[in-house]
Amino acid sequence: MLMSLPMYAISPPDVEIFAVTLLGKLKRLGMTPLPVSLSWPTDLLAHWQDKDLLLSQTCGFPLVESLPQVQLVGAFSYRAPGCEGFRYRSFLLAREEHSGLHLTSFRHRRLAFNSTDSQSGYNSLRALVAPLAVNGKFFSEALATGSHLESLLYVQHHKADIAAIDCVTLELLRRVAPERISGLAVVGQTAAVPGLPLITSAQTSPEHLAMLRHALHEVSREAVSKPLLIESFTEVPRPAYEVIRQMKKIAEEFGVRELMPESVS
């Protein structure tokens, strides 16, 4: 069996401690077999599709676009500015010299984003700029960086001018690595959507799914959750995530299918 929590691993030791506590609760509930330890996969999409997946955390965009077969366990609520219950949003980060500018001021400037399958770094921003686009174009460049942390570095080092960063990631960085956001300012925000989904394999039994949810409810209220900013666990229904697909559709209706370089002037 496999378990991973890759999405907010700003402090991996805190994630490991959380996972050990969660596995202990599942063991006491009588779940077998259990993962020996937390996995740190490099190919996330393949990992999320593994038939032996007991638990992982994905992004809402892959959930609705690429993972129809997995079961949705639920989602955490986080203690972070920008969160509304189990919903979250992205903040738009630019250098402090651009503090106070409106999004329209970033037309023909350079975007840094983590990946095209990211709700927080790409899809949410695509929906936000779509009504402002001209002939489907807004940014002069859209640079794929591979992670939110790299996107922040691109903006800090003048390789890009703006990036959309998950509000939970941003708050974790404020607390444990403030240098990663030094010299940057919030210049906007995206709409709130359901937070990062916790998923399990289609092969996970209803009994084990119920155990997972029970254990997640419990561990979310314990001290090991606080460093990860976890406040509670909610059994979010899958249709709640359709708003993410709708964001993509609305952007396409404005003629904005991509934010990639080949789609901008």
Q: Which DSSP state fits 248?
A: H
Residues 6+ apart with CB under 8 A from 216: 22, 73, 74, 76, 198, 233
pTM flag (> 0.85): yes
Q: Which CATH superfamily is domain 89-192+246-263 in?
A: Periplasmic binding protein-like II (3.40.190.10)
Measured at the CA of 206, the angle between CA 205 and CA 210, to 5 degrees, comes to: 120
Question: Is 2-79+196-235 assigned to CATH 3.40.50.970?
Answer: no
| 102: three-class secondary structure by DSSP | coil
Nearest to 51 by CA among 69, 74, 78: 69
Give CA–CA dist 51/219, Å, rounded.
Answer: 25
pLDDT at 265: 32
- Nearest CA-CA partner of 220 in 198, 201, 191: 198
Query: What is the rounded distance in angstroms from the CA atom of residue 59 to the CA atom of residue 113?
Result: 15
* Ranges for all domains in the chain classified under CATH 3.40.190.150: 2-79+196-235
DSSP, residue by residue, 147-174: SHHHHHHHHHTTS-SBEEEEHHHHHHHH
- Chain region(s) in the chain for CATH 3.40.190.10: 89-192+246-263
pLDDT for 232 equals 99
pLDDT tens for the 265 residues of the chain, in order: 999 999 999 999 999 999 999 999 999 999 999 999 999 999 999 999 999 999 999 999 999 999 999 999 999 999 999 999 999 999 999 999 999 999 999 999 999 999 999 999 999 999 999 999 999 999 999 999 999 999 999 999 999 999 999 999 999 999 999 999 999 999 999 999 999 999 999 999 999 999 999 999 999 999 999 999 999 999 999 999 999 999 999 999 999 999 974 433 3
**What is the pLDDT at residue 34?**
98
What is the structure's pLDDT at 263?
Answer: 35
What angle, 0 to 180 degrees and rounded to 10, lies between the N-to-C axes of helices 206-219 and 12-28?
A: 130
The pLDDT score that the predictor gives to residue 254 is 96
Query: What was the pLDDT predicted at 260?
Result: 72
